[in-house]
């Protein structure tokens, strides 16, 4: 079912198609009376400009794509929500793509969307740097939870967050922590580990690492067992999902939390406040990150690739203290 075209409006209004077009896009080039008349006729006919015809000419699509590494992770919901809201606010459409933790799928989907979106928000992209750089030459790209010199990004301040975590653990008397690492291709996993290690070093605390693990509840058992093997008194899991799995395994093995070990997660997903014991976790305004990412992208899409150095939005994190951490035994 096709709607009325600019021709229909032109005929009905008794003017040329170009006049109709200009009545919408270049009001100054059309007489006020004519313009009113055209607009009225268009309104009455229910005319809506065809976005494809427009895009064909301008290569402007009023659409942004958001690619997430794993849509299954509840943490992304907030991010997606923020992005969706920001896009809608500017009358942009948000296309959602799930990369299923695969660089291959991610790249393929991006290629497919390349000609029909104005830019990409890549959340926790698993793509190698070269691919990202190459992509950025073709369309504006904003990274989320990842950094690459030269590209704009939006993320939470995990370096400071890791410092908060270590400080918190330190104040509880912990002298030995272990990081339950995320996937090898995850930039975040690398960043968190290095930030934790640095902070631990500064505090004179020992820091070990086990993993990598796929950050899902189901992997928590494996991660917990590996972490117990290190003898650490504090477990810092790559994210809340993994942390919750760890909690479950520890309960199964009758290891008290926080009596025997303390557990910390990342993301502060909804469930972190409901599990038992409630999870101490590094939270932040994820929706704002999504919002910021789209915002940067829209600006870039309008201005073109020009402009100064790429924007880098870093939002603060805050440690949400709950019952999964306590003084060392």
Binding site for its own copies (CB under 8 A): 1-3, 48, 50-53, 55-56, 59, 61, 71-72, 74, 77, 80-81, 84-85, 88, 91, 93-98, 109, 111-116, 137-139, 244, 270-271, 274-276
Dig out the tokens for 120 from the structure: 């990409």
153 contributes a contact to DNA by CB under 7 A: no
Round to whole Å and give the CA distance between 245 and 220. 4
26: partner contacted, choices its own copies, DNA, none (Cβ within 5-8 A by kind) = DNA
3-state helix, strand, coil in the chain (%, to 5): 50, 15, 35
Closest contact distance (angstroms) between CB of 91 and its own copies is 7
Query: Which 34-53 residues touch DNA, going by CB under 7 A?
Result: 34-35, 47-50, 53
Nearer to DNA, 3 or 316 (CB): 3
Closest contact distance (angstroms) between CB of 111 and its own copies is 7
Round to whole Å and give the CA distance between 98 and 113. 13
Round to whole Å and give the CA distance between 98 and 95. 10
Nearer to its own copies, 71 or 311 (CB): 71
6 contributes a contact to DNA by CB under 7 A: yes
Closest contact distance (angstroms) between CB of 190 and its own copies is 27
DSSP string, 127-147: S-HHHHHHHHHHS-EEEES--
CB atoms within 10 A of CB 40: 11
Dig out the tokens for 149 from the structure: 């010199």
Closest contact distance (angstroms) between CB of 15 and DNA is 4
Place of tokens 């902070």: 199
32: partner contacted, choices its own copies, DNA, none (Cβ within 5-8 A by kind) = DNA
270: partner contacted, choices its own copies, DNA, none (Cβ within 5-8 A by kind) = its own copies
Round to whole Å and give the CA distance between 102 and 83. 22
Q: Are 122 and 102 in contact (CB under 8 A)?
A: no
For binding to DNA (CB under 7 A), which residues are involved?
2-3, 5-7, 14-19, 21-22, 24-26, 28-35, 47-50, 53-54, 56-58
């Amino acid at each position: 079912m096709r709607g009325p075209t600019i021709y229909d409006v032109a005929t009905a209004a008794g003017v040329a198609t170009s006049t109709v077009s200009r009545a919408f896009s270049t009001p100054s080039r059309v007489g006020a009376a004519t313009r009113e008349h055209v607009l009225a006729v268009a309104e009455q006919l229910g005319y809506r400009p065809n976005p494809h015809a427009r895009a064909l000419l301008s290569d402007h699509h009023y659409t942004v794509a958001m690619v997430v590494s794993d849509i299954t992770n509840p943490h992304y919901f907030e991010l997606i929500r923020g992005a969706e809201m920001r896009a809608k606010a500017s009358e942009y459409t948000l296309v959602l793509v799930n990369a299923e933790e695969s660089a291959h799928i991610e790249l393929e989907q991006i290629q497919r969307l390349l000609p029909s979106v104005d830019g990409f928000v890549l959340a926790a992209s698993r793509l190698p740097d070269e691919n990202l750089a190459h992509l950025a030459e073709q369309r504006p790209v904003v990274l989320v939870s990842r950094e690459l010199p030269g590209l704009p990004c939006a993320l939470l301040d995990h370096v400071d967050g890791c410092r908060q975590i270590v400080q918190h653990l330190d104040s509880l008397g912990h002298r030995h922590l272990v990081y339950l690492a995320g996937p090898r291709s995850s930039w975040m996993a690398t960043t968190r580990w290095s930030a934790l290690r640095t902070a631990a070093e500064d505090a004179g605390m020992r820091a070990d690492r086990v993993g990598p693990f796929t950050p899902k509840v189901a992997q928590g058992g494996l991660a917990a067992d590996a972490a117990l093997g290190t003898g650490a008194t504090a477990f810092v899991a790559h994210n809340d999902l993994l942390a919750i799995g760890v909690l479950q395994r520890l309960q199964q093995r009758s290891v008290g939390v926080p009596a025997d070990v303390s557990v910390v997660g990342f993301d502060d997903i909804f469930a972190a406040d409901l599990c038992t014991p409630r999870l101490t976790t590094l939270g932040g305004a994820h929706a704002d990150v999504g919002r910021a990412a789209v915002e940067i992208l829209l600006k870039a899409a309008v201005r073109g690739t020009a402009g100064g150095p790429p924007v880098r939005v870093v939002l603060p994190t805050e440690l949400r203290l709950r019952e999964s951490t306590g003084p060392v035994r």
